[in-house]
């Protein structure tokens, strides 16, 4: 690491410690703005995020399933992949995903860079290979030149550069400025009385045992169905799918509740379409508590204050393919 990078990283760590200490009394802390290390890399990552040519069909981009006009999700129970394949699990939002302790419902990718290579080569998602993706980018001189500018290398594009750039873009997809954060930061008029009562209920009844931190989740793996089992036809077993251990059955990464008003349907199987029902289920299955209609309405009112400022940028214009660019294969 270069000295400047180390100094920047240290400064960011100290700033984030001070930031978190200031709000330590609350289980939820405000979202901080993005720390941008290289704007040029972010711009390149943004192009790749929107580029459907990284899929076999030439039709599916990251934005197809993590639509930044829709809270970073597809608002479908489970996603549609290559050749209209039905996905196995609900697509989590990419918003604030840089705050997650690990990526995916079962945490099988350590970070955003490790995650980003997955969907390109997943036969049920973008159905490409890393070699084909790299060949494709190398066939487009404007892309090659941009990679060279960003990474300072003379050679060709490689998959490590692709995932670095996508991760750098994803790190900018944080959503500060929600009404709840304004309230935390001292604007006592930012929340209505009902919303404040909802937050109190959320804290006092124990939702914050799992949904805490700046992302209001994303920090731990917990069992879905602590008090009573969750009834679902979905085959996902959570962390047990990786470890094979019985104790890890139905252990999922606690989802972030930031922007939850936009990220329906809910739960790993995407089977619940309303926040009212999701809160009712959480109360019963995680806490053994049956909320009244009025209590549910208050908690939902609070949850809706967690919607922050959505990513706001110009749509990237992608460099056109050349005569040498491999052709898309949308139908087989």
Residues within the interface to ligand HEC (CB under 6 A) = 60, 62, 64-66, 79, 81, 87, 89, 91-92, 94, 97, 100, 103-105, 112, 115-116, 119-120, 125-126, 166, 202, 205-207, 209-211, 222, 224, 226, 252-255, 257, 260, 263, 266-268, 278-279, 282-283, 286-287, 299
CA distance linking residue 256 with residue 250, whole number of Å: 17
Find residue 266's DSSP bridge partners. Answer: 272
Q: Which is nearer to ligand HEC, 5 or 194 (CB)?
A: 194
Least distance between ligand HEC and beta carbon 260 (Å): 5
How far is the CA of 312 from the CAs of 174, 219, 261, 287, 315, in angstroms?
11, 26, 18, 38, 9
HSE (side-chain half, CA atoms, 13 Å) at 220: 10
User: b/e string for 139-174 if b means 16 or more Cβ within 10 A?
Assistant: bbeebbebbeebbeeeeebbbebbbbbbbbbbbbbb
Q: Which is nearer to ligand HEC, 8 or 43 (CB)?
A: 43
CA distance linking residue 286 with residue 255, whole number of Å: 14
Residue 251 · residue 239 · CB < 8 Å: yes
Phi, psi of 252, deg, nearest 5: -125, 155
Least distance between ligand HEC and beta carbon 18 (Å): 26
- In three-state secondary structure terms, 252 is strand
Whether 125 is catalytic is: yes
Unique residue bearing structure tokens 């039905």: 86
Choosing from 125, 146, 170, 197, the catalytic residue is 125
Pull the structure tokens for residue 179. Answer: 């009404």
- In three-state secondary structure terms, 206 is coil
For residue 277, how many other CB atoms are within 10 A of its CB? 15
HSE (side-chain half, CA atoms, 13 Å) at 248: 16
Pull the structure tokens for residue 260. Answer: 């939850």
For residue 62, how many other CB atoms are within 10 A of its CB? 26
Residue 275 · residue 260 · CB < 8 Å: yes
Residues with active-site annotation = 125
């Amino acid at each position: 690491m270069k000295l400047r990078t180390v100094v920047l990283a240290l400064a960011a760590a100290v700033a984030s410690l001070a930031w978190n200490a200031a709000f330590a009394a609350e289980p939820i802390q405000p979202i901080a703005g993005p720390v941008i290390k290289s704007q040029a890399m972010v711009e390149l990552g943004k192009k790749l995020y929107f580029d459907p040519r990284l899929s076999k069909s030439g039709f599916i981009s990251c934005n197809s399933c993590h639509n930044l006009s829709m809270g970073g999700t597809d608002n479908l129970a489970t996603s549609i992949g290559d050749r209209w394949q039905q996905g196995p699990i609900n697509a989590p939002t990419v918003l604030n995903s840089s705050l997650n302790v690990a990526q995916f419902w079962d945490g099988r990718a350590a970070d955003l860079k490790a995650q980003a290579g997955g969907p390109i080569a997943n036969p049920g998602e973008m159905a490409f290979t890393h070699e084909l993706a790299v060949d494709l980018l190398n066939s487009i001189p404007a892309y090659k030149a941009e990679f060279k500018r960003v990474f300072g290398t003379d050679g060709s594009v490689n998959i490590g550069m692709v995932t670095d750039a996508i991760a750098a873009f994803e790190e900018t997809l944080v959503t500060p400025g929600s009404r709840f954060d304004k309230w935390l930061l001292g604007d006592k008029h930012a929340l209505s009385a009902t919303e404040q009562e909802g937050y109190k209920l959320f804290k006092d009844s124990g939702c914050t045992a799992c949904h805490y931190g700046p992302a209001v989740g994303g920090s731990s793996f917990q069992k879905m169905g602590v008090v009573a089992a969750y009834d679902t036809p979905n085959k996902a077993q959570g962390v047990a799918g990786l470890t094979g251990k019985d104790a890890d059955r139905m252990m999922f990464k606690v989802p972030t509740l930031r922007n939850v008003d936009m990220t329906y349907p809910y739960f790993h199987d995407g089977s619940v379409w309303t926040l009212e029902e999701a809160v009712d289920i959480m109360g019963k299955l995680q806490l053994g508590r049956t909320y009244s209609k009025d209590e549910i309405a208050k908690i939902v009112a609070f949850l809706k204050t967690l919607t922050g400022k959505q990513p706001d940028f110009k749509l990237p214009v992608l460099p056109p393919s050349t005569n040498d660019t491999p052709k898309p294969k949308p139908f087989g």
